[in-house]
């Protein structure tokens, strides 16, 4: 009935907030990685970040010369867990960006 509908609506709102928080955590890391000298880019994490009372684990993987020479592909992964009705589900999203070496 109404209680189930309210629970479902609340879960939808929480899910949207989690996706927004994960995006924020990823974009913060992307901005930090863009500020690092190209030659000093390295894999990192996990780093715990809290956004909107949710803890996210952020990791990043640097792949040099991918897809071409002097270009680096960086995958920023944001992971978190959600518990609903006693069931915990692991969630994650991956943001990929490429960065070229400046000669």
CA distance 41 to 64: 9
Q: How much is the pLDDT for 36?
A: 94
Give the C-alpha separation, 74 to 35, whole Å: 13
Q: Determine contact, residues 54/17, Cβ cutoff 8 Å.
A: yes
Please give the pLDDT value at position 13. Answer: 60
- Residue found by looking up tokens 């863009």 in the block: 34
Q: Which residue stretches of the chain have pLDDT < 50?
A: 5, 7-9, 11
Q: How many residues does the chain have?
A: 103
């Amino acid at each position: 009935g109404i209680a189930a509908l309210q629970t479902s609506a609340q879960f939808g709102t929480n899910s949207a907030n989690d996706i927004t928080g994960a995006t924020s955590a990823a974009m913060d890391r992307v901005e930090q990685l863009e500020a690092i000298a190209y030659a000093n880019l390295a894999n990192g994490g996990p780093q715990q970040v809290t956004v909107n009372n949710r803890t996210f684990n952020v990791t990043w993987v640097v792949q040099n010369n991918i897809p071409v020479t002097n270009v680096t592909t960086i995958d920023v992964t944001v992971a978190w867990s959600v518990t609903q009705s006693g069931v915990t589900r692991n969630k994650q999203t991956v943001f990929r960006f490429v960065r070229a070496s400046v000669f």
